[in-house]
Chain A
Amino acid sequence: MLSSSLVRVASVSHSFWGLKHLNRIRLCVVLVILVLHAGCERAEQWPARPVTLLCPWSAGGGTDRVSRQMAVQLEVELGVPVNVVNATGGGGVTGHARGALARPDGYTLLMATVELNMLHWRGLCPVTWASYRPLGKLNEDSAAVFVRADSQWQTVTDLEEAFRDATAPVAVSGSASGSIWHLALAGWLLERDLPMASANWISSKGSAPSLQELLARGVDVVCCSIPEAATLVDAGEVRCLGVMSTERCPTAPEIPTFAEQGVEWSVGGWRGMMYPPGVSEDRVQRMEAAIAKVAASDEFRNFMDEAGFNMSICGGEEFGRFLEQADKDFGAILTQPAMRQQQQAPLSPWFMPILLGVLGVIAGGVGVSTRRPAVVAKVAAADNNLRMMVVCTGAIAAFAVVLDTVGYVVAASLLMSSLLLLLRVRLLTVCVVVLTSVPVTYHAFSVLLGVPLPWGWLGW
């Protein structure tokens, strides 16, 4: 108990090094006061500790940039640090699922993106828009169609004709197969009754590699949002044929809309803030107000304008209605048999693992049959003490199990002390090492670097 309290003090106080020379009793008094003080503080106000903002996409992308800007301004608004965590992977499944399953204490926010309305239609993710408490929509970027500057197609109508008369499929890309840009293109073809087979969607990691592919003549058409291709349009390398919306994009007013060219089709991606369900209503209102205030600020507007993101702000309730409608629309496209067919790749998902397995068996066979036994270093297996290793593995596994409940500081102290004691370090040394290393690590990661570690019983 005493040692954990000590850790608490060390983690909240820079002056721990000064305290080291005080005698034990005075130290205890200081401890008790500090712990009580921290306890009182926590009960009175909310939020009292750092807020985590989950971003389902990787650092450096558009969503990440919006998240980080939001975090910086929310920090001022809420008075506590707001840390962005990139919960990437699985085409957005990981981040969105974590956002829905987070503890409903209001300390975890999610920057949701349009994929939320698409993943569940493909059976990839059980969460839908209804698994959240929407807090506010921030932006909406319409899809647009790009071709190379030397391309023969000048208008959307030219491209439609090309799709209609295509003898060989036209190579199209923009992002992964089944992504919002793929859906935008497929929806357009469906809407205009164009043959689905004439567009050969080449799945890629995102708009940047697709545009690179367009320049390298690997594909002929790219479908993505305007800001993603803005640089290449300015450079005169690619040309935008039209934007899939009813109104022109304010940041690129020279680009005609699909509607102007006689095609009634609009679709776009959006970003918005979400809470997991079950957060108490006063906290929801506090957060919703903070987000609305940030979104309305000049600073945020300037950021969005400069980054080329199209602002489209609305509150939680309206956002919810928007999501419900969008979900129905997307469902209608994504469940089309033609759309499902389009997602066929030339190699089955199991091709690669099977190929690797076969190669492994061949390599292993060749290796074992040509092995020269004399050369193999004699590992002194008898000397090896696996017991230590098993204990260490068990200790780390136990750490992983209890981390979320007891918090980083306690769990790491326990792990460290047990490992040190296992290695027969003297008790005094154990105390010194644990009391210095754990708070310092916690401080370095959680406070200086803004990487949130679980707080649990102790820590901030």
Chain B
Amino acid sequence: MRFLSYSGCLCPGAGWGGDMNDALVQAVTDVLYRPDLWLTIVAAACYGIFVGAVPGLTATMAVALFVPIAYWMDSVSAIAAIVTMVACAIFSGDLPTIFLRIPGTPASAAYADDAYRLTQKGQAQRLLGLALTCSITGGILGAVMLMFLGGQLARIAKLFSATEYFWLYVIGLSCAVLVSSGGARWKAVLSLLLGLLLSTIGLSAVHIEPRFTFGMAALYQGISFIPAMIGLFGLSEVFSNLAQARDGQRVTVSHSSTGQFSVSQTVEDLGDRFRCHKRGTARSGLLGVVIGMLPGAGADIAAWVAFAAARKAVPADNDSALRNAIGDATTANSAALAGGWIPALVFGIPGDSVTAIVIGVLMMKNVTPGPAIFVDQAPLVYSIYLVFILANLVMFPIGLLAIRMGGRIVQLPRQVLLPLIVLFCITGSYALNGSLFDVITMLLSGVLGFFLSHRGFPLGPIVLGLVLGGPLEERLIQSLTAAAGSVGGLVARPLACVLALAAAAVWLGISWAAVREMRQGKTRG
């Protein structure tokens, strides 16, 4: 098989030929001895932090907007800029998540509620410091795995057909129920089902048939999850602040301090993670890379699964354990970025929307991704690896600066801050597609989110349901079409069988925990 011949190139263990050393040396000179490249990386980092911190602007959008500039850059600089801005955007998505409970990405929605609970206890700055260091750890772990295991991992990606994806989505969705705290589990299930149901609105991708559109053309595109997410979390938070204000009084909601930010605290937390949470870090890094490299799964599922794995046994009032669970999730979503590059470099199949653009940029530079790139363009490949590590290192000082500045902004008096949040919610949701329909979606989700969260329903599962609902149905129907309609087709392949068992295990765990809680409740009551 031709595949084997080049997987060796990714793995230095297979032999460090003279060519390889030359390529590495050239890559190092290409990357490290170029001041303009360093400047590009720093500029891209600032840009990425800015775009990621604005709810509504996504990492994909940042990269798409950058493409015209990439035309007059050489391929290493262009790739360096893209890698840096995406890594920074994914981290800075945590800034509004933690300060204001407005998740920047669906990946951050996994821990938005838990993180905000810590913020209300005055731990925002500390948590962000941890999120930053964990993102960096995740990014570097991901880059290392991309370097040494890329070829081997790509072979796993090749095994995933529609049926396996279906089960993977089922596992991801189940994790949303798993992370919910006891007693509210049925509410999490209902939230998830609501999200899935909302995702069926619009033109069905498989049937190409309109559902719940009531003849309105605007509804054909369906509910896009970004405006929905901004509304559910951001606007509903504004609403609940407003609702607490007494009639005719000024809003005097007690101003929650974001806590003191200290670099030494961050370093201490980082040290603590390396001493006591080695397993958690390694697990979430690996989960991130493996899930991230599967086209169509990506960082969102990675963050949910990693968060579920860390969060399941944690009581809601254990702050340090909760912090670590959030740290695990941020590690996973950053590691997933590097994962997305694996199928892109090896097969030219984009792992996510960002790598889809990257492939375009590479082709523009006359570099065709695929196995040949490891032989013909080895210095470029090594440069990409180096840039991954560099981007994550540059992120540290710039990220710290962003946390400081963000802390300043949220110190504004509430009655000024709330309208500003509204302005950003609206502008962000409009900017996404330039469509007023998205603003209306955002507004309605805000009202929905307000009432649901007051009734104790978690909002994260709605977002996950919205994101995965479409692909879930699509993969289910693809599998059934391929199996000529027989349900047995869903477990006919060995890997699908394994994943189905894993999904069943997750559900067994959920029901077992529910039964146990009910018994405890009975004996106590």
Chain A interface (Cβ within 8 Å of chain B)?
52, 58-61, 64-65, 68-69, 71-72, 84-91, 93-94, 97-98, 122, 124, 168-169, 171, 176-178, 200-205, 208-209, 211-213, 215-219, 230-232, 234-237, 303, 306-308, 343, 345-350, 352-353, 356-357, 359-360, 363-364, 366-367, 370, 372, 374-377, 379, 383-389, 392-393, 396-397, 399-400, 403-404, 408, 412, 415-416, 419-420, 423-425, 429, 433, 437-438, 441, 444-445, 449-453
Decide if A58 touches B353 in the complex (CB within 8 Å).
yes
Q: Which residues of B sit under 8 angstroms from A231, Cβ to Cβ?
A: 347-349, 359, 368-370
B contacts, CB < 8 Å to A: 2-3, 51, 54, 57, 60-61, 63-65, 67-68, 71, 157-164, 183, 185-187, 189-190, 193-194, 196-197, 200, 202-212, 217, 220-222, 224, 238-239, 242-247, 249-251, 295-296, 343, 347-350, 353-354, 356-357, 359-360, 363-366, 368-372, 415-416, 418-420, 422-424, 426-427, 430-431, 433-436, 439-440, 443, 446-447, 450, 454-456, 471, 473-474, 476-478, 480-482, 484-485, 518, 521, 525
Chain A minimum-CB-distance residue to B243 = A384
Q: Quick check: A60 and B443 within 8 Å, CB to CB?
A: no
Residue of A nearest to B71 (CB): A72
The answer on a CB contact under 8 Å between B481 and A346 is yes
Contacts A52-B434, A364-B190, A377-B456 given; indicate if A400 touches B443 (C-beta within 8 A): yes
Contact A363 B190 (CB under 8 A): yes
Contact flag A91-B422 (CB < 8 Å), given A212-B160, A234-B368, A429-B416: no
CB of B482 within 8 A of CB of A412, answer: no
Pairs of residues from A and B, 3 with the lowest C-beta to C-beta distance, nearest first: A231-B348, A89-B221, A367-B186
**Count: A-B pairs, CB below 8 Å:** 324
Q: Find out whether the CB atom of A202 lies under 8 angstroms from the CB atom of B478.
A: yes
20 residue pairs from A and B, CB less than 8 Å apart: A60-B354, A71-B68, A85-B434, A89-B220, A94-B221, A208-B350, A216-B161, A219-B482, A234-B372, A345-B481, A346-B481, A347-B477, A349-B207, A352-B200, A359-B193, A360-B193, A385-B244, A423-B250, A425-B415, A433-B416
Question: What residues of B have a CB within 8 angstroms of the CB of A308 in the complex?
Answer: 363
- Give the distance in Å from the alpha carbon of A65 to the alpha carbon of B454 in the complex: 44
Query: Contacts A345-B481, A347-B480, A370-B518; is A385 near B246 (CB within 8 Å)?
Result: yes
Q: In this complex, what residue of B is CB-closest to A360? A: B193
**A370 touching B478, Cβ below 8 Å:** no
Task: Verify A445–B189 contact, CB threshold 8 A.
Answer: no
Supplied contacts A93-B217, A399-B426, 6 more A-B pairs, CB within 8 Å: A200-B482, A216-B161, A217-B161, A218-B482, A359-B193, A449-B65
Do A237 and B415 have beta carbons less than 8 Å apart?
no
- Chain A residues with CB under 8 Å of B372's CB are 234-235
Contacts of B420 in A (CB 8 A): 416, 433, 437
Neighbouring A residues of B200 by C-beta, 8 Å: 352-353, 356
The distance from the CB of A6 to the nearest CB of chain B, in whole angstroms, is 17
Query: Which A residues are in CB contact (< 8 Å) with B430?
Result: 403, 453
Given contacts A60-B357, A377-B456, contact A437 B423 (CB under 8 A): yes
Chain B residues within an 8 Å CB radius of A346: 477, 480-481, 484-485
Please report the C-alpha to C-alpha distance between residue A217 and residue B492 in the assembled complex, in whole angstroms: 13
Contact yes or no, B161 A218, CB < 8 A: yes
Cβ contacts under 8 Å, B211 to chain A = 349-350, 353
Task: State whether A387 and B360 are in contact (beta carbons under 8 Å apart), knowing that A60-B64, A356-B197, A375-B183 are contacts in the complex.
Answer: no
Contacts known (A68-B68, A218-B482, A441-B423); A367 close to B296, Cβ less than 8 A: no
Contact B356 A232 (CB under 8 A): no
Contacts of A404 in B (CB 8 A): 436
Residues of chain A within 8 A of B203, CB atoms compared? 89-91, 93, 124
Docked-complex contact B57 and A65, CB < 8 angstroms: no
Q: Which of A60, A348, A450 has the most CB of B within 10 A?
A: A60
Known: A376-B456, A424-B415. A216 touches B246 (CB 8 A): no
Docked pose: A33 CA to B194 CA in angstroms:
55
Closest residue to A352 on the B side, CB-wise?
Answer: B473
Q: Is the CB of B193 within 8 A of A61?
A: no
Q: How far is the CB of A309 from chain B (nearest CB, A)?
A: 10
CA of A386 to CA of B296, assembled, Å:
41
Q: Are A412 and B363 in contact (CB under 8 A)?
A: no
- Also in contact, A235 and B348, with CB within 8 A (given A347-B477, A403-B436, A424-B415): yes
The answer to whether B440 touches A400, judged by C-beta atoms less than 8 angstroms apart, is yes
The answer to whether B423 and A415 touch across the interface, beta carbons within 8 angstroms, is yes
Docked complex Cα distance between A453 and B202 (Å): 25
Contact between A213 and B161, CB atoms less than 8 A apart: yes
Asked if A87 meets B435 with Cβ closer than 8 Å, knowing A215-B158, A307-B364, the reply is yes
Interface pair A212/B349, CB less than 8 Å apart: yes
B295 lies within 8 A of A88 (CB): no
**Assuming A234-B372, A385-B246, is B220 touching A93 (CB within 8 A)?**
yes
Contacts of B371 in A (CB 8 A): 235-236
- CB distance A176 to B482 under 8 Å? no
Shortest CB-to-CB span from B187 to chain A, Å, is 7
A68 in contact with B244 given A400-B443, A412-B423, A420-B415 (CB within 8 Å): no
Set A60, A306, A353, A452: member contacting B434, Cβ < 8 A: A452
**When the two chains form their complex, are residues A345 and B206 in contact, meaning their CB atoms are under 8 A apart?**
yes
